[in-house]
Amino acid sequence: MSLSWDRAGLTALVTHEDISKASRAPPTPDAPTPILALSSQSRAKGYDGLCLPLTTESWKKRWMNMCLLPEGMEEAAGIAAEKRAEAWRARPGFLLNEVTLTQLDEAEGVIALVSEWLELDSNDDWVRHDAEIALQQELSYATYLNIHTAILPPPRSREHLASYARVVNACLKASPYMHISIRLPIYNPSVLESRVPPGGQSPSSMVASPPTPRLVVSDDRGAETTSANLDGTWEMWDVIRSMCDYNTRLSLTLDLTPPLPVNSGFLSKWKAEAVRHLFLPASTFIANTKGYPVLPKGTQSFIRDSITASRQFASTMAEPDEDQNLASPKYYPGWRKSGSSQSRRRSCLFTPLMDNLQSVTYQTFEQDPVKYHNYEEAVFHALLDWPGNGRIVICVAGAGRGPIVSRCLNAIERAAKDAHVYAVEKNPSAFVTLQTRKETEWEDKVTLIFGDMRSTEPVEKADILVKVVIGSCPVADSAADDGISIPSSYTAHLAPLSSSKLYNEARGRKDEKGLETPYVVMFQAVNLLSGDGECTQGRCGPSIQECWEFEHPRPDAVLDERGLPLTNSHNVRSAKLNFFIPHAGVLHGLAGYFEAVLYGNIGLSIHPQRKDRISKDMLSWFPLFFPFKEPLYLPSNSELQVNIWRLTNQRQVWYEWHAENFLNVNAPPSPETEMPPRSPALGNGAFFSSPRNIPSPLVDAMPMPADIFALDPRRSEAGTRLIKIGHTSLHNPGGRSSWIGL
């Protein structure tokens, strides 16, 4: 699955003042209306479209006169206003002077800004009710004009955020062709708190246009911004998108007005969200050494990462500032086209041991020069280290179309060794390609064997066994009982992951299997939730932790007369991992990474912290994504415990996974959770006093330690307690939804 980024663009933000100014200019044949004139001007300057308010101040005034009754209004006037309001509620609609757009050609390429004075989270129930009707009216008119995207003002109150989210969800259902984006500042939710003036009147009646949310900076330079301040806005977004059931037509418009924090861990969480637009006010720019306005490097980096990460990124909305000459997009750096060649791939696990791969699949893997170069280097060094000068037998197990066979021949020539290559392949179609290459390239240097590498009788014993690792799914199959095995070991690594996009794609199958299937994915819009910080008593490991390892040859495996294991039970693995969660986030799944030691110090790796040192720019391996059926909220400074199992029978290999999260509380246990002392009156262990001592299998059983049901003895030490706050279900039990065929 892939998608290009050519549609990411730069949009000019148009205000009521801009529209009023354009309306005073005489019309021209090419721009007969103010909106068309503004559109023409912006495109001439290099912008890709307009983002403008859909309604005028006249609509705001009429709505306020109908729906906001000031204190002290005469009864007759109040009744008349209520009649007008009821008539409007029954049949909502605009008058001509209440909208900025009236024609289809005006609306082409336009992103609509919903009226900022609409308070969907007002403290007043009636204000919320009428604001919802007005919002539905605006979205209906935008749909009429074939406008596909509308940006809603941010919530003003955390107290009534649920009401805001409910309205958004209702609008998504009522407008099935409209994409709704929520404008939110990147952090500091305190600036969004509702400030209701005395008398209960709405703030919308006090100001013409609410200011852009801005950061309130304390004079105390030494004070650090708390995690709650940083996470608060993201938590608002999490509530909204969760109540809207992760609707794919709901996205974020991130307001970059506040200065970006230095904390990269905080910023990375936004990369995993559905960011569709970025808002850049003129105040975001700073002057460089030559006096030209530029974006700070941190902001440039964040924009570039957002474009690369989000599949649905559409535009950056810029606020031109004539004083700083920012009307031209030439001051916006090259991030507009960054990531244009990036793509996302998502597929289920390959089953090369059970199924025969297509030629195009082999071709995709063979386009990776790094992987096959490292294989050649591994074989080359193994040949150099081989003792003696006798004939060396190399067996390529799962030769496919033969790329590693060719690399083995290159290594033999470089090492100047006497060696012969056997190529074993069970795919009858690929075996035809091998025969062609033997006839045209390899001749008698290679012997071809058709059959399954696990059951084929070897012609002669292999000194060096080379196994091809397909994609991101290393399979621990048969290996040489002595000699050299390439790869010599595999390790699997895991990390908790947040990605609303991957979660939505996984559940797109509309059945349970979609969320119990591991996927091979090229990660982009993801955020690893774990950190390297130490939690209490050192229970947590690093941000990415090793699950298990496979070694070849395995000395403790029981083998038959052919040197093959009697069963596949030696490949069963399990891991219990503890992760520290430094910043609040939503767990959508687990990221699985792999690393293989080919020979000596030569390997292959997609471990994020090691891949550039081991196999930089390798293209044919991608991580695994293990989804969870229900997102799990993880508060900051919490702990996540992950259990994962790799299970097998004679026909299949499958994964099962489960997670629990805990919060560390620095408080003594409450009296309700402490074990009550044993009553002296119940000396025989009975729960109630009774004249008869009837034996009970529970009461009269051998005494058990008091902490047998405790999570961990270390977790109940003085001053700290771990409180469980959530868990997931067990995923894919028995391989019911996904498995790898053997």
Residue 284 vs residues 42, 234, 319: alpha-carbon distances, Å: 20, 21, 10
560 is in an annotated binding site: no
Q: What is the spatial distance between Cα 513 and Cα 402, in angstroms, rounded to a whole number?
A: 35
Q: What is the spatial distance between Cα 720 and Cα 639, in angstroms, rounded to a whole number?
A: 13
Which residues does residue 655 pair with via DSSP β-bridges, in sequence order?
Answer: 646
Q: What is the spatial distance between Cα 549 and Cα 558, in angstroms, rounded to a whole number?
A: 18
E-only strand ranges, 600-736: 602-605, 624-634, 638-648, 652-665, 721-727
532 is in an annotated binding site: no
DSSP element (H, E) containing 582: none
- Provide the token pair at 719: 């001053």
452 is in an annotated binding site: yes
Query: How long is the chain?
Result: 742
E-only strand ranges, 513-572: 519-521, 527-528, 545-551
371 is in an annotated binding site: yes
Numbers of helices and strands, H then E, in the chain: 16, 28
DSSP 666: -
724 is in an annotated binding site: no
CB 404 within 8 A of CB 372: yes
Q: What is the spatial distance between Cα 286 and Cα 50, in angstroms, rounded to a whole number?
A: 24
Q: What is the spatial distance between Cα 722 and Cα 716, in angstroms, rounded to a whole number?
A: 8
- Provide the token pair at 81: 């206003």
Query: Per-residue b/e over 581-616, b at no fewer than 16 CB within 10 Å?
Result: bbbbbbbbbbbbbbbbbbbeebbbbbbbeebeebbe
CB 453 within 8 A of CB 478: yes
DSSP element (H, E) containing 17: helix 16-23
362 is in an annotated binding site: yes
- Provide the token pair at 356: 């025969």
Q: What is the spatial distance between Cα 504 and Cα 590, in angstroms, rounded to a whole number?
A: 15
Of 319, 228, 312, 229, nearest to 276 (Cα)? 312
CB 329 within 8 A of CB 318: yes
Q: What is the spatial distance between Cα 168 and Cα 174, in angstroms, rounded to a whole number?
A: 10
Binding residues: 362, 371-372, 425, 452-453
Binding residues for S-adenosyl-L-methionine: 362, 371-372, 425, 452-453
